[in-house]
Structure 1
């Protein structure tokens, strides 16, 4: 809708400019008014498109609770696994990881773009950087477990738990800020508030 609006603004401007210079004796006022009308219609479409985008972002902000609950489970499970490592058989750790984390990690990754819509790209990076690191560490634990490298598995299990906790802290801090972020489009000067 916004692209069509920008196209109409450009066509309206060109039509109005052409109507004002095509005749030497004066302006073709009906044609100029038509160009002005097309430009105003384009401006309205741009504003409606921007408001629709902002509304979508606000609605996405309300859907972070599901991601928070999922990340909370991932964090709690990684801490629990780390706390129980003295009583676990490291050679079967990979099966426990599969059973415990696969569904939650897949769900979070499938819905992670909600963070962008709700809070912006920087907030997404703040959450996803430690989460991705934690996931890589968990994959390393899985590999070390299957290969029999017990010390490496335990060390990276602790690191994974710390990274998941950091990602969870970032996400809960974003959600508890209590106010939707001020989305802005510097090209149009529009914000979520206006």
Structure 2
């Protein structure tokens, strides 16, 4: 949309300049006026494109805040769960995992693509690699809790 807007601005300007020098005595407003309108339409298109990019940037920044908050909460809750693992019933750990982590994991998953937009594809891959490993350990703890394997629950928390 930006390219079309710039094309209209330049086309309107050049055509208006050309028509205004055809007659040195008067300005042919019937020809120059539409050129001005075309140029103004181009300005509007460029502004709309810039506004869309600003709002996309704002959304990425908001999502990065959500990501940081959810990761901080996940780490804090994992540390608390690790501290309390000895006192928990093996079959209750899976319910504790569901209660503690589901909302923050969902928040992270919903906003994860903002990492790519803000920091690039390599940073996205690095973060998601670590996240996937952590999630896999959490899933192993959940499954071990379901089966009653206390050593495995403690190992993967």
TM-score range, shorter chain: 0.5 to 0.7
Corresponding position of 1:62: 61
Mapped contact 1:60–1:118 kept (Cα < 8 A): no
d(CA) in 2 for partners of 1:102, 1:58: 27
Q: Calculate the aligned-residue CA RMSD, in Å.
A: 3.0
Alignment of 1:5-84 (within 5 A): 55=54, 58-63=57-62, 64-84=64-84
Mark the structure with the bigger radius of gyration.
2
Equivalent residues, number? 123
d(CA) in 2 for partners of 1:61, 1:95: 33
Structure 2: which 5+ residue stretches go unaligned? 8-44
1:54 deviates by 5.9
1:59 deviates by 2.5
TM-score, normalised on structure 1? Answer: 0.53
1:145 aligns with 2:138: no
Structure 1: which 5+ residue stretches go unaligned? 9-44, 158-194
SS for the counterpart of 1:84 is helix
1:53 deviates by 7.8
SS for the counterpart of 1:62 is helix
